[in-house]
Structure 1
Amino acid sequence: MKVVCVGGGTGLSNLLRGLKREVGNRIKELSAIVTVADSGGSTGRIRKAYQIPAPGDIRNCLVALSETEEILQKLFQYRFKGEELEGHSFGNLFLVALTDITGSFLSAINLASQILRTKGEIIPATTESVHLWAEFSDGKVVEGEENITEYGKSSKAKIARIWIEPEDAKPPIDAIAKLQSADLIIFGPGSLYTSIVPNLLIKDIKSAVETSPALKVFVVNAMTQPGETDGYTAYDHIKGFLTATGISKIDIAIVNTKMPSDNLLRRYIEQGQEPVIPDVAKIAREGITVCAEDLVGENEDFIRHDPERLKDVILRAVSHAFSHI
């Protein structure tokens, strides 16, 4: 089975961490199409200085798919301290250096993949320097991934429309080829409007997804995200994705039903985040197959999907779907 994951942020890298264990077994080929619209932190500073696509999510995916020694993985995620390099990660700077040496962002990613011995291919959604824009329900127009989330938090307005500039940004040819030959395309988990949707705002990627014969799976977030999905149920996440991207349908929705511990939940609620309500019947009425299970890990620091459980649920749902085709 050929699998393509589409997204960004910690959600995508977490998903890849689970799926890579099946490469060579149930998964013949694993690829990730990764957003490069990030504008915050080390990534944002690098974009301004070097005019290259955002490397941060690419770096996280490289580490997630890596089969190399733990020290190299830690090295790629290492953040410098001190005035000039404060907050920059080694992996981001490494990708900048490789891009400068090879003259190509794609070549830099491929070389880094070889060094880290990744069990899958990582492809940026575009090699152009794209910027995310959003119009909110109060009419305000905001530029930049980080600014969009911050404005949503402070204003409590909802994202009404989202787009990228330049609007005609092109994806690498490999991204289109992977989507067209895929048996399974997985969206999420991750920041809905700033990690998942931006990939589909690239017109050729959206067209390739629409025409691909692959089964389309959407992994719903376990928690709402302040400034983006406040008050969203599982159904709202799917509806928001389809509306923002123009994608006509998904086949399977993966929904978490597990409530986190009281202590952890209290901490998240203080930050304005709540568990996503699993309104399964509402999703099913749209003709979408729903797999609702306990998917959150036992980590007491963060509420995240457990990579192993998520992988097992996705592959079980897909196997069942293929057997009924």
Structure 2
Amino acid sequence: MKTYRIEKPKIVIIGGGTGLPVILKALRNESADITAIVTVADDGGSSGSLREMIKVAPPGDLRNVLVSLSDMPKLYEDLFQYRFKKEDEFLADHSVGNLIIAALSEMRGSTYEAIQILSKIMHVEGHVYPVSEEPLTLHAKFKDGTLLSGESKIAKARKPIDHVFVTNSENNELPKASRKVVNAIEEADMVILGPGSLYTSILPNLMIGEIGEAICRTAAEVIYVCNIMTQKGETEHFSDAEHIQVIHNHLGQEFVNTVIVNDQEVPSEYLNASDDADKLDQVTHDQVGLEEEGCSIISTDLIQLRDGGVYHDGEKVVDEIFKLLKVKRS
């Protein structure tokens, strides 16, 4: 009797921030060959201070992605994610995981190697790659002609952004993609962008020349998971179509095949929740605008309300991804 092996779909997901781990955690429960490509342009908080002190790629987003794909016991996860108290002086606000990644990066002389070692130790399901093997600096050119450098500073300016670009933080040259990243994109069945901050979590990855080119030429279905809420200093008053327009304009061509958007109304008490909140209003839906960008549209309820905020429900997003995958494979 012959037995046939059904190959797992190769799914590449690109981004950073809090949105990426939500989708990855749900995706880990499915039968898929997962590759996470993670931004290294963060220069705020614990990640920012470590990249300055030790000259390593910022570890925070990588830490959260490792945890989302790991099956380690809850106590180990809690220890890895533990953040020292503000009154702990030198260690204040640093997470144990960030310190471990920084230490292993220094020991091996490479954040890329550190992440591969930790992936084995933490029993990670899939592959985790920093988008570049060197820390990156994000630059924003605003529509008033001014320029600002530093991921943590850009949104605070609260000015309309014309475009962003990245440079290698060490020598200010154009950055290169990490090893295996381009091949993963080219060989994927699906490439997923987002959810995450448009200008500071998604676009920094696409602005590395080799990566932008690979995404434009891949035969994979390219999916954008649109944010549910607009973000202060980045996408204020944006529609879903405007998110896609910005992405396409940055790469100079239409390459996103499908957009997954939320169609459930956000309760009014979650809108403009506080003066210091980074999320403002609900992203408006522009069906015509998305169609003009050449995108197929999947609209459904994606909302999860928790901890006083509005988040993507990872299970719902992944369910839509696999429905689409089934259609594409039939």
TM band (smaller chain): over 0.9
Distance 1:269 1:247 in 2: 37
Once residues 245 and 87 of structure 1 are traced to their aligned partners in structure 2, the CA distance between those partners, rounded to angstroms, is 37
For residues 274 and 226 of structure 2, the distance between their equivalents in structure 1, rounded to whole angstroms, comes to: 18
Aligned with residue 273 of structure 2, among 227, 246, 267: 267
Report whether the alignment pairs 1:100 with 2:106.
yes
How far apart are 1:174 and its partner, in Å? 0.8
**2:165 — aligned with what?**
163
- Aligned-pair RMSD on alpha carbons? 1.6
TM-superposed deviation, 1:50: 1.0
Q: What's 2:285 paired with? A: 278
Distance 2:124 2:140 in 1: 34
Query: 1:280 touches 1:292 (CA, 8 Å); kept in 2?
Result: no
Are the structure 2 counterparts of residues 183 and 268 from structure 1 closer, same or farther at C-alpha, using a change threshold of 3 Å? Answer: farther
Task: Figure out how many residues of one structure are paired with residues of the other and give that number.
Answer: 315
- Tell me if 1:40 matches 2:44: yes
Deviation at 1:129, TM superposition (A): 2.2
Say whether residues 1:8 and 2:8 are aligned partners.
Answer: no
Rounded to whole Å, the distance in 2 between the matches of 1:65 and 1:259 is 30
- Equivalent AA in structure 1 for residue 160 of structure 2: K
Counterpart selection for 2:187 from 181, 187, 192? 181
Alpha-carbon distance between aligned partners in 1 of 2:136 and 2:164, rounded to the nearest angstrom: 13
TM-score (norm 1): 0.93
TM-score (norm 2): 0.91
Separation of aligned partners in 1, 2:28 and 2:98: 22
Mapping of residues 84-99 of structure 1, within 5 Å: 84-99=90-105
Aligned counterparts of 1:260 and 1:90: Cα–Cα separation in 2: 35
Distance 1:183 1:263, change over 3 A: same
Q: Distance in 1 between matches of 2:36 and 2:253?
A: 19
Structure with the higher fraction of residues in strand conformation: 2
Contact in 2 for aligned 1:68/1:117 (Cα 8 Å): yes
1:310 to 317, 320, 323: 317
- Mapped to 2, the partners of 1:281 and 1:313 lie a distance apart of 21
Change (3 A) 1:246 1:91: farther
Task: Judge conservation of contact 1:291–1:317 (CA < 8 Å) in 2.
Answer: no
Structure 2 residue ranges without an equivalent (≥5): 1-8
Q: Find the aligned partners of 2:131 and 2:66 in 1 and give their Cα distance.
A: 15
Q: C-alpha deviations, 1:202-253, integer Å up to 9, x for none?
A: 1111111122110100010000000000010000011111112335311100
Question: Is 1:202–2:222 an aligned residue pair?
Answer: no
SS in structure 2 of the partner of residue 9 of structure 1:
coil
Q: How far apart, in 2, do the equivalents of 1:43 and 1:247 lie?
A: 33
What is the CA-CA distance between 1:269 and the residue it aligns to? 7.9
**Structure 1 position 120, deviation (Å):** 1.2
What aligned pairs does 1:1-325 form with structure 2 within 5 A after superposition?
1-22=9-30, 25=31, 27=32, 29-81=33-85, 82-152=88-158, 157-166=159-168, 167-265=173-271, 267=273, 271=277, 273-323=280-330
Q: State the identity %.
A: 36
Residue 33 and residue 95 in structure 1: after superposition, are their counterparts in 2 closer, same or farther (change >3 A)? Answer: same
Q: Kindly provide the amino acid, as one letter, of the partner of residue 319 in structure 1.
A: K
Between Structure 1 and Structure 2, which shows a larger proportion of helix residues? 1
> 3-state DSSP class of the match of 1:173?
coil
Question: Where in structure 1 do 4 or more consecutive aligned residues deviate above 6 Å?
Answer: none
Between the aligned partners of 1:86 and 1:300, the Cα distance in structure 2 is 24
Deviation at 1:134, TM superposition (A): 0.6
Structure-1 separation of matches of 2:217 and 2:292 = 24
Structure 1 position 268, deviation (Å): 5.7
